[in-house]
Structure 1
Amino acid sequence: MATFLVLIPPGATSGDENARIVRDRFSWVAFVLPVIWLLWHRAWLAAALAFAVQALGAAIADHPVFGLAGLGICLATHLLVALEGPSMLVAGLERRGWAVDAVISADDRATAEEIYYTETPAAAAETRDSVSLPAAETSARRHAPMLGLVGFKEGR
């Protein structure tokens, strides 16, 4: 099963036909061709940064002592874009005013679209209202972040 994020444009309601569905997973194309993948998805700044880091890694790879470090920098760039590329696309859309409307687990994109567009707004509201809150939300006592992680209410 894969996870799909459904984003709606600014001012749109749930179930809008202009919604974008982004699959949140590792991308082999982004791993093999990270800069081209970012340019294809119109992430211009990320593509320029990835190109600069890869150029730096290639320049370092030519050095006889630091050659492996340069290859490591290039590999890290490829992995970062392949793992976080879809998240970068979602973050870019959110900066432009798009909102995440739903998170759907499905086998493929067609199934995710079917689930999203056949769900009635009344059923969605009923499901979202019946979600139980975590224990930390219902307790009057404030809890510190666990394992060094930032808590949700404290911000970043």
Structure 2
Amino acid sequence: MAVYKVYAPPAPPTGGAASPEHFVFVRESFSWAAFLIPLPWMLYRRLWIVLAFYCLAAVAMALLAGSELAPVSMALGVLTPFVLGFEGNALRGWSLDRRGYTLEGVAEGRRRDDAEIRFFTRWVGGHAAAPQQPTPGPAARTLPITTLRETPTGIVGLFPTAGTQT
């Protein structure tokens, strides 16, 4: 099962709640698009700040490539796509937070469609409803809590000498 964070867009200026059609489901997993094609992925997802830092890092790696720190530059060039792959969806959530989106909840499903169905079946009018707790039946009753002094024999569990003073 995949886990998705659900972000609601900011409230419209005319008032009212955000439309559920504009909710964003961000999967909590490795982002293959961020790993394989980082620039188009950042442009498509509108991650402008992340794109700016990525470009700065690329310029810094290019400058380091011509110096004696070329192995460091090469190592950073190899590790950067992996970092983007592992942290890409977290960066996307961070970017949504900065744009005014609010985290509405978490949903899980085999696919995004399943997660949407699960989320919206418990989402009621603007907030996620609490999961229903089963009501205890007649067999489920609470037992009285007794302390060591209230027990008639002073025995605690299987150790008869635990409650006695010697």
TM-score past 0.5 threshold: yes
Aligned to 2:65: 61
3-state DSSP of counterpart to 2:26:
strand
One-letter amino acid matched to 2:61 = G
Cα-Cα RMSD: 2.7
1:1-156 to 2 correspondences below 5 Å: 1-11=1-11, 13=17, 16-63=20-67, 65-119=68-122, 121=124, 124-127=128-131
Question: In the aligned structure 2, how far is the partner of 1:128 from the partner of 1:84?
Answer: 34
Number of residue pairs aligned between Structure 1 and Structure 2: 128
3-state DSSP of counterpart to 1:25:
coil
Are the structure 2 counterparts of residues 56 and 128 from structure 1 closer, same or farther at C-alpha, using a change threshold of 3 Å?
farther
After superposition, give the CA deviation of every residue in 1:55-95 in whole Å (9 maximum; x if it has no partner): 322332344x4322111111232122211121112112112
Query: Is the Cα contact below 8 Å between 2:8 and 2:22 reproduced in 1?
Result: yes
Between Structure 1 and Structure 2, the one with more helix by share is 1
Q: Unaligned regions of 5+ residues in structure 1, if any?
A: 131-156
Aligned-residue sequence identity (percent) comes to: 27
TM superposition score normalised by structure 2: 0.65
Q: Unaligned regions of 5+ residues in structure 2, if any?
A: 135-166
Q: Which has the larger radius of gyration?
A: 2
Question: In the aligned structure 2, how far is the partner of 1:32 from the partner of 1:18?
Answer: 27
One-letter amino acid matched to 1:27 = S
